[in-house]
Every structure is written in C-alpha cells, then in structure tokens.
Amino acid sequence: MDMKQFIQEMPKAELHLHIEGTVSPKRVLELADRNGVNIEFKSEKELLDAQDYGTPPLENFLKYHYMCSDVLRTGRDIFEITQDYLEKCVIENTRHVELSFDPQGHLERGIEFGELIDALNKARKDSPVSTQLVMCMNRDRTLESALEMLKLAEDYKDDIVGLGLDSVEEGNPPVKFQEYYDRGRELGFKLTAHCDCDQNNAVEHARQCIHDLGVHRIDHGVHVMDDPQLIEDVKERGITLTMCPTWRLGDPGPRRIPAIRKMLEMNVPACLNTDDPEEFASRYMSNMLSVVQEQGEFSAEEMTQFMRNAFVGSWIPDARRGAYLKELNAHLNTFKYKSDTS
Ligand SMILES: [Zn+2]
C-alpha cells in the first residue's frame, strides 16, 4: 500500500466544511439557469478560471463564494448540493462530517428556515455518511440578526449540534456576538468560530473566542500559535483547531504547512479540512491530504494523528468516537504491516 492509497482508504472526519462551498461550476450553471439567476460567468471554464482569486485574495474569494451561493433559491437546490457533497464523501471514505451552513443568505433569497433544515436533513437521511449541522452566522451582519436565527434554530436542536461564525472578520470582532454565544451555550449548543488567517488583531480575536465566547473549537486559528499563552489555553481546554491547508488556483501548493507541523510537534489539537472544496484547487479530502503529506513530508503516523484529532474534536457520542478511532488505528497498523513485509 503506498501513501496515496493509505490516505485514500483512511477513515476520515471533516469538521470544517461549508455546504455553500461545495457547489461545482457545473451545478452553479445549472442552478443559475433553472432559477433564472444572471451570473457573470457563462461556462464551466470561466468559473474555474475565476478561482484564481488574485489580490486581495480573501475579498475576491468571498465575492466568488457569494456568487455561487446566490444561485441557491429553493429547498430542492439545497437538497441536491448536499446530496452531491455526501456522494463525494462516500468516495473519499469520509465517515463523519460536521457540516456548516449559513442560513442568513438563504433566508434572504426566499428559502424558509424550516425548508432549509428539511432539505439538508432529507439529503443527510439518505446518505451512509454520518453528519451533524453547524449553523454559522455571517459576522459582518448584526447581532440582532444572529439572535433571530438562534431563535429559529431552537426548534431544530436535534439537527443542529453547534453554532459558528464566519465571513468578514475585519471590523467584526468575536465579542460583537457575545450575547449570541452566551445564549447558545445556555441552550446546549456546541460553539465554534472562524479565526481567519492574517487578519488585523488576529491574536486578540483568538483570545476573545477562547476566553470571552468560550468556544469548544476554532475554525482555522493559525494565529493561536503566535502567543504561548493561547497555545497553552487550547491544549488545556482541548480546543481543536480546524485548519484548512487549502490552496488556490495558481498557488504552488498547500498553505500553512510550517504552522501545521509546529502544531503537531507541540501537541496542539489540529485537524485538516477542505473548507470550500469546489472553490479551492485543493478540492476534496484525499487530494488535499495527499499533497499536504507529500509537501510537508508527514509520516503515516503523523497523518493518522491529524485524523485522530478530527475524531476527538468532533461532537459525537464517545462510543462512536471510540469505534472510529479503533478503525483508524487498525488502518495505520495494516499500512505499517504491509510496509514492513513488502
Ligand atoms: Zn470556513
């Protein structure tokens, strides 16, 4: 068994995945046509070419991302893209996904909250992949809007396991959403928040997430590594960093490899995720992990440790976690055995 096959066949969990970032260019065009939405790109090639986000990268990426979300207009659309993504998970050998969705944009486009959750659930129910939902607020919107969404989510507590925060970080510090997080904790939701890379006040924002919001996970969170106290805090509290070493079209390869290596060496619980697989050149889990492994020269044990961190950081019952971890260890042992005897 070579390393590529080892990674392909590894039982996987993904904790940082936006369902809106899984719409393929082909699907974007189909849905734009079906829903009568006028988009600036007219072919799959034009859409793929536009994935070279250039400068400023985050702003250009978000523009592309929201254009792709804009074609989603009905529960049927949400069902179909979720079904597409879960079919990919089967191929990737991804066993468990904590799947983020951004309700605010969908509601604005006319999908009702219940219709949105029903569509996600319908696709989830039909799939062999285990999934849980994480509801993300766009941080450039208001606290009032977030509280409104939380009120709607209360009726779907069996479906939505956690609450998150994403989109434009600049000018929108985590503490803007203190009340949303406090209320979410009272209601029993698990908590996460994006701490994006290279943002102003990135270290302070990570501190706010850990100490003020009291998150259980951080999405990205590379700048935790800039502050020895925060490193200690995440280790002590068992806060998993859901890193996404994705790369854009035109990039030489995965970003953040030195930081990820450092996390591993310092026993910071970090796992590797695809974020928006149809919008980055890194695409889906096996491809992303294989290239990270190759360029970072990570061993099979080290790749297994990242995946162990994902299962440990997931919000599933301990018995299931134990079963996944056992399977993961067995996969590593098989690889080692085959390598020794070949
Ligand atoms: Zn994300």
Q: Per-residue pLDDT tens for 234-270?
A: 999 999 999 999 999 988 899 899 999 999 999 999 9
Residue 98 alpha carbon to ligand 1 centre in Å: 12
Of the candidates 35, 64, 61, the one whose C-alpha atom is nearest the C-alpha of residue 47 is: 64
Angle subtended at Cα 146 by Cα 245 and Cα 138, rounded to the nearest 5 degrees: 30
Report whether the peptide linkage leading into residue 56 is cis, meaning its omega lies within 30 degrees of zero. Answer: yes
Q: Per-residue pLDDT tens for 23-63?
A: 999 999 999 999 999 999 999 999 999 999 988 888 899 99
Of the candidates 189, 163, 157, 159, the one whose C-alpha atom is nearest the C-alpha of residue 177 is: 163
Distance CA 25, CA 33 (A): 12
CATH of the domain at 168: 3.20.20.140
Residue 98: other Cβ atoms inside 10 A: 27
Residue 196 alpha carbon to ligand 1 centre in Å: 8
Q: How many CA atoms lie within 13 A of 281 on its CB side?
A: 16
Distance CA 27, CA 39 (A): 13
Mean pLDDT to the nearest integer, 171-197:
96
Q: Per-residue pLDDT tens for 99-154?
A: 999 999 999 999 999 999 999 999 999 999 999 999 999 999 999 999 999 999 99
Interacting residues of 103 by C-beta distance below 8 A, sequence separation 6+: 113, 116, 135, 149, 152
Residue 180: domain span:
3-341
Residue 218 alpha carbon to ligand 1 centre in Å: 10
Residue 243 alpha carbon to ligand 1 centre in Å: 9
Residue 307 alpha carbon to ligand 1 centre in Å: 18
Residue 69 alpha carbon to ligand 1 centre in Å: 14
Residue 18 alpha carbon to ligand 1 centre in Å: 6
Residue 247 alpha carbon to ligand 1 centre in Å: 13
Residue 114 alpha carbon to ligand 1 centre in Å: 23
Interacting residues of 34 by C-beta distance below 8 A, sequence separation 6+: none
pLDDT score of 94 more than 80: yes
Residue 42 alpha carbon to ligand 1 centre in Å: 27
Number of H helices, E strands in the chain: 15, 9
Residue 135 alpha carbon to ligand 1 centre in Å: 12
CA distances from 275 to 40, 102, 212, 227, 288 (A): 24, 13, 25, 25, 11
The per-residue DSSP string of 308-336 comes to: HHHHHHS-S-HHHHHHHHHHHHHHHHHHH
Residue 187 alpha carbon to ligand 1 centre in Å: 24
- Per-residue confidence at 197, pLDDT binned at 50, 70, 90? confident
Residue 335 alpha carbon to ligand 1 centre in Å: 32
Q: How many CA atoms lie within 13 A of 185 on its CB side?
A: 12
What's the pLDDT score for residue 199? 84
Of the candidates 16, 29, 48, the one whose C-alpha atom is nearest the C-alpha of residue 249 is: 48
At residue 42, the 3 state secondary structure works out as coil
Residue 279 alpha carbon to ligand 1 centre in Å: 12
- The terminus-to-terminus CA distance of the chain in angstroms comes to 9
pTM: 0.97
Q: Per-residue pLDDT tens for 282-315?
A: 999 999 999 999 999 999 999 999 999 999 999 9
Q: Per-residue pLDDT tens for 201-221?
A: 999 999 999 999 999 999 999
Residue 271 alpha carbon to ligand 1 centre in Å: 13
pLDDT score of 342 more than 80: no
CA distances from 282 to 44, 90, 204, 252 (A): 17, 18, 29, 11
- How many domains is the chain built from? 1
Of the candidates 325, 278, 16, 312, the one whose C-alpha atom is nearest the C-alpha of residue 162 is: 16
